[in-house]
Structure 1
């Protein structure tokens, strides 16, 4: 079961996605929005599967960090 934090990840991306690098944003979109596997993304972007996983983790951590600092999603959900 996905945690509430994971369920809010698309909201975090909508608000804070511009803080990701171009590569991080592309990998995030392919992984979460297009539901591609790590191997499919690796082939498409010509990087290793581990490189894709590292980018996904870094992107997710960056989005969580932005929400922790700014709390915009939390404020919006409390309305």
Structure 2
């Protein structure tokens, strides 16, 4: 099963990336910005592939939650 990237999350990261933990931010950047595979990130970070997926999912939820609370992306689109 191939994991599909939601590239709209890069915009969320630009606005709210500082709210992620250091590890979540590193994994997010490796996956979305550097185009590492899940296996490559797992090897780089010394965790399992499932651990990488879990960290990405937690980061995605946190980024979307911050947008729901603050709405900075929606506000910037209106302007």
What's the TM-score, normalizing by structure 2?
Answer: 0.89
Output one character per residue of 1:28-61: Cα deviation in whole Å (capped at 9) or x when no partner. Answer: 0001111111000000111000000000000011
CA distance in 2, matches of 1:57, 1:26: 14
* CA gap 1:7/1:75 in 2 versus in 1, 3 angstroms: farther
Number of equivalenced pairs:
75
Which runs of at least 4 in structure 1 moved beyond 2 Å after TM superposition?
none
1:54 maps to 54
What's the TM-score, normalizing by structure 1?
Answer: 0.89
Unmatched runs of 5 consecutive residues or more in structure 1: none
Please report how far the alpha carbon of residue 8 of structure 1 lies from its aligned counterpart in structure 2 after TM superposition.
3.0
Please report how far the alpha carbon of residue 7 of structure 1 lies from its aligned counterpart in structure 2 after TM superposition.
4.1
Cα RMSD of the aligned pairs, angstroms, is: 1.3
2:41 maps to 41
Unmatched runs of 5 consecutive residues or more in structure 2: none
SS at match of 1:73: helix
SS at match of 2:26: helix
Answer whether contact 2:12 2:73 (CA < 8 A) is retained: yes
